[in-house]
Amino acid sequence: MIKRALLLLSTALIAPLAQAQMTPLMRHSLRFSQAPHGVVAKGSLPTRDLPSAEATPQHEALVKKVDALFADSPAAMAWLVWRDGRLVYERYGAPELRTSLITSFSVSKTLTGMMVGRALCDGKIKSLDDLASTYEPRLVGTAYEKNTIRSLLTMTTGVEHTPAQGGADLNALWRSEKSTLETIREKRRLSFQESYFLKNFNYDNTATNVLGLMLRSATGMPLSDYFSQTFYQAAAPIQNGRWLRDKADEEFAMGSFLALPRDHLRLSIHLLQILRGEAGDSCLQDYAKQMVKKAVSTSPKPPIYGTDTGYGYQVWTHLSDLTADTIELRGFGGQHVFISPSTGTAILVLTASDNRTDERSVMNAKLATRLFLGR
């Protein structure tokens, strides 16, 4: 009887608690599922099980605190937390979101960074200090012609870029108004004094798109196929994902991977396991450890935009308010994956957004993250 009661309580603690209905902003956030895309095949592996955490008084008290924050977050679409091999928290803003393909925007930058590592380990790329244009001749004559792969990974490209340009590019790409190559050709280099390689960080969406085209050329495969074969299938998802394509029918890497929330989490768990040396080969594990090291310092910013003080290879590092080894995969409008190898934790946050960010929902998600990973 006691064992059955504990099982029921455990199920209740992670059962998807949902708002009454999908909000217009949530529906708007799902618009990308209708855009042109390449299929990211799930493969034939058995789906990774996500067993529930054992119910304890401490766990129940923590869940109640997080539930209060979730209930006060009108734009929250999905919050999922994995720790020590168990699903310890799972909530959705509406029932339909559990089975919806959702984009995590720039979280896909880190996924692109991992694909670069796989290509390096497989000999498709000889060195991170090679020019990207060595592998993708179409980059010759663009502002990125002389950029090394490493400078693209660390966002130290010396190319002019602003957040507004990134948003405009994303809209033009997913609406099939421009090709990725066209957006690359529109960029200009800064003066040498402003662009000193491997020292000055400037967040540059187009740098990731350059990496995407370089990977396509170096591997001879569309990005969606390469990602499926090298990472997504190994995460053992339950459903195919999608990678958005431009008007030239090429995937753009800057912010365009879609999956079910639980499959986003499974992918995060796979990355966690690679960092812990529990998945992938030794070459990829070594690359991942280098990837999450601080390669360049980032500028102080309001907490809503992040608490990082460093950037690695397409990933945010040195988060001042979280466990020391926590890294962040961050996307526009409140999309986050937090991974802490030392605690065996992966946290997924998906937030509804349009051209603005719901600050209350984003800050509540950060407060909830601190309950699990705060220093």
The CATH number of the domain holding residue 313 is 3.40.710
Decide if pLDDT at 4 tops 70: no
Collapsing DSSP states into helix, strand and coil, what is residue 146?
Answer: coil
Mean local confidence (pLDDT), 292-315: 90
Quick check: is 203 in a domain?
no
Rounded Cα distance between 30 and 259, Å, is 11
pLDDT for 12 equals 46
Q: Which two tokens stand for residue 308?
A: 């990082």
Q: Mention every residue, 6+ apart, whose C-beta is less than 8 A from residue 363.
A: 303, 304
Quick check: is 146 in a domain?
no
Yes or no: say if 244 and 256 are a contact pair by the CB < 8 Å rule: yes
Mean local confidence (pLDDT), 136-151: 95
pLDDT for 303 equals 80
Least confident among 12-21, 289-298, 313-322: 12-21
Quick check: is 154 in a domain?
no
Quick check: is 97 in a domain?
yes
Quick check: is 92 in a domain?
yes
Decide if pLDDT at 134 tops 60: yes
**Which of 259, 210, 261, 208 is CA-nearest to residue 233?**
259
Yes or no: say if 292 and 327 are a contact pair by the CB < 8 Å rule: yes
Which structural domain, as residue segments, surrounds residue 81? 2-34+57-105+260-373
Mean local confidence (pLDDT), 330-353: 95
pLDDT for 20 equals 55
Mean local confidence (pLDDT), 253-268: 96
Kindly give the residue spans of alpha helices, DSSP state H, lying in the chain. 2-14, 24-29, 57-71, 107-121, 149-153, 163-174, 180-185, 205-219, 223-227, 261-275, 282-291, 359-373
Per-residue pLDDT band for 166 (boundaries 50, 70, 90) equals confident
Least confident among 158-172, 237-251, 261-275: 158-172
Quick check: is 25 in a domain?
yes
Per-residue pLDDT band for 17 (boundaries 50, 70, 90) equals low
pLDDT for 14 equals 53
pLDDT for 15 equals 54
pLDDT for 163 equals 72
pLDDT in tens, 174-208: 888 999 999 999 988 766 544 455 468 889 999 99
Mean local confidence (pLDDT), 326-335: 94
pLDDT for 188 equals 84
Q: What count of other Cβ atoms lies within 10 Å of the Cβ of residue 48?
A: 17
Structural domains in the chain (count) = 1
Quick check: is 100 in a domain?
yes
pLDDT for 233 equals 98
Per-residue pLDDT band for 318 (boundaries 50, 70, 90) equals very high
Decide if pLDDT at 356 tops 80: no
The chain-wide mean pLDDT, for the chain, equals: 90
Quick check: is 362 in a domain?
yes
Decide if pLDDT at 232 tops 70: yes
Per-residue pLDDT band for 7 (boundaries 50, 70, 90) equals very low
pLDDT for 143 equals 93
Type of residue at 123: G
pLDDT in tens, 43-100: 999 999 999 998 899 999 999 999 999 999 999 999 999 999 999 999 999 999 999 9
Q: What is the pTM of this model?
A: 0.93
Q: Mention every residue, 6+ apart, whose C-beta is less than 8 A from residue 284.
A: 117, 118, 121, 274
For residue 190, the Cα-to-chain-centroid distance in whole angstroms is 28
Per-residue pLDDT band for 11 (boundaries 50, 70, 90) equals very low
Mean local confidence (pLDDT), 27-31: 89
Least confident among 25-29, 121-125, 324-328: 25-29
